[in-house]
Amino acid sequence: MTTKLTKAKAVAGVLAGGALLCAVIFTAGHAFEKNAGSPPNPASVSDNAQRVAYLADWGWDVEPSAVETLDLTLPETLDEAYLSYNELQAENGMDLTPYCGQHVKRYTYRVSNYSDYEGTVLANLYLCGDTVVAGDLTASGENGFITSLRSP
């Protein structure tokens, strides 16, 4: 099977190729913009200094030592509360489901640069081994909240 290359077919091919190139550039640029300023996931942090640096990569200044550590085991399947929390993790580019049934450790740090809130804001990092599997910012009290690690 052969075809004759006409001027119209050549122009159509160039336009189609240009449109495809624009779509690729737009998609790649949008993905880069969406992930700009956030650490790659899953991140590996093996000590306190790396955990503090990881939070700094998200834009948070924290006190150099964790104020609390807690060992826990994730459930085998995520119940409603964990599913809701996992939706929050999607904003961080994380997913708890691969870690169901596994032991995790929570490290809690006091945040010093959260604006628009008078009370104490805490940053929580959940690690399975050295891998960050979840994280959030929390504040208790009258106007308390829980939010993703992304800067507002």
Instruction: Classify 133 as helix, strand or coil.
Output: strand
Neighbours of 86 (CB within 10 A): 15
Provide Rg for the chain, Cα atoms. Answer: 22
- pTM exceeding the 0.85 threshold for the entire prediction: no
Q: Give tens-digit pLDDT for 93-148.
A: 999 999 999 999 999 999 999 988 889 999 999 999 999 999 999 998 888 999 99
- Residue 38 · residue 32 · CB < 8 Å: no
- Residue 149 · residue 60 · CB < 8 Å: yes
Distance CA 83, CA 73 (A): 15
Mean per-residue pLDDT for 80-95?
94
pLDDT at residue 133, as a whole number: 96
Question: In terms of pLDDT, which residue wins out, 25 or 92?
Answer: 92
Q: Give tens-digit pLDDT for 16-67.
A: 444 444 443 444 443 434 444 455 556 889 999 999 999 999 999 999 999 9
pLDDT at residue 108, as a whole number: 98
